[in-house]
Amino acid sequence: MSGRARLMWDEAVTGYDFGPDHPMDPVRLALTRRLIGAFGLDRELDVVAAKAAGESTLRLVHREDYIAAVKAASADPGAADGSYGLGTVDDPAFAGMHEVSALIAGQSVAAAEAVWRGEALHAVNFAGGLHHAMPGSASGFCVYNDAALAIARLLELGAERVLYVDVDVHHGDGVQAAFWEDPRVLTVSLHEHPRTLFPGTGWPEETGADGDAEGSAVNVALPAGTGDAGWLRAFHAVVPELVASFRPQVLVTQHGADTHFEDPLAHLAVSVDAQRAVQRACHELAHEYAGGRWVALGGGGYAVVDVVPRSWTHLVGIAAGREVAPEAEIPEAWRGEVFARTRRVGPGRMTDGRWPVSWEGWEAGYDPADRVDQAVLAVRRAVFPLRGLLA
């Protein structure tokens, strides 16, 4: 197995563009790639552009009629009328939509192939993590579900246990749906409570299909306002035990940056420093239980200048084995590019001033009146006994 990590990148992924008034501004991808370069991280790993996912690959998750609908909307965006979730406010059709969506999916599939085959120890596609797309419809800014496609490809290659961890502020509903009946895939999502945020799913009682797959879906629904200590406490109270018991052959993680307190579309209060701490934890879990095989994806994140580039640059640094120190000053050249592209002043350091972040471990006991602890208790009681673990 190669000791070098792999960064999946093709400049053309910045063509995933729903228009000037849409929250998912592709400048977040361009600025992340430039910040990675500003810190020299692209010299520490292999930067690879994969080909777009072909139709046979897309059909591992998506229905044939849906793929045809995406192609039609891509060729004639004005004809998209909301069918299949295309042409909506969240997912407006645009010219070339199929091609660039398939390109993003291709990067995640190639990342999974490289890690499975031992060509790379870790692989990152921060343009990916489009976890809301369903087998037969677009949803939540997501056209093709690259995360599910990467996992499906791992299964096709012979993987028997794949663990997916999603720490985006929104429930990873599309990935959960794709593997609802498949006990080979354990999906774990930490997200804002469905009472207060799209997509309205991800309740702790959602545990997988009856039968062999029962207990293969895990949902930690956190109350609005949860900050660093609560978020990290919940992660560590649930994820490590599940990873240890499942012993995955590959760990696939989604690192949406929209848990941040500056994100305009959600209501958690997490810092870049806590996001970095979870990225490090995922890296450590991959090495401890999955032979180091780690596929890391991006996801949501709509504070496109101040948060997303910093968070995902930390992710790439961790995967590359050259972490960016939280206190590191951001190169002035990058800040100049931010101003040139957005007319905004970029952040000055790679921290929100909260490093090192701290939290209290679950083993120290819990408070049944605390809302974060209630969320943890709910999911442990719903899922852990199904997996032979103590709630």
DSSP notation for 324-362? PPTTPBPPHHHHHHHHHHHSSPPPSBS--S-PSP----G
* CA–CA distance, 233 with 260 (Å, rounded to integer): 16
C-beta separation of 147 from 175 below 8 A:
yes
CB-based contacts of 68, cutoff 8 Å, min separation 6: none
How would you label 159-189 residue by residue, b for 16+ Cβ within 10 Å and e otherwise?
A: bebbbbbbbbbbbbbbbbbbbbebbbbbbbb
> Which residue has tokens 């891509």?
74
> What are residue 190's DSSP bridge partners?
220
Q: Which of 4, 3, 24 is nearest to 14 (CA)?
A: 24
What percentage of residues in the chain have a pLDDT greater than 70? 99
Q: Which of 67, 50, 38, 170 is nearest to 104 (CA)?
A: 50
Query: Does the model's pTM come out above 0.75?
Result: yes
Rounded to the nearest integer, the mean pLDDT of the chain is: 98
Give the model confidence (pLDDT) of 260-295 as tens digits. 999 999 999 999 999 999 999 999 999 999 999 999
Angle, helices 97-116 vs 64-75, to 10°: value is: 130
Q: Which amino acid is at 170?
A: H
C-alpha torsion sign, points 255, 258, 262, 268: negative
Tokens of 257: 């940056």
* CA–CA distance, 175 with 178 (Å, rounded to integer): 5
C-beta separation of 142 from 62 below 8 A:
no
* Phi and psi at residue 324, to the nearest 5°: -85, 125
Rg (CA), the chain: 19
Give residue 2's pLDDT band: very low, low, confident or very high (50, 70, 90): low
Give the model confidence (pLDDT) of 291-325 as tens digits. 999 999 999 999 999 999 999 999 999 999 999 99
What is the arithmetic mean of pLDDT over 148-157?
Answer: 98
Residues marked as catalytic: 132
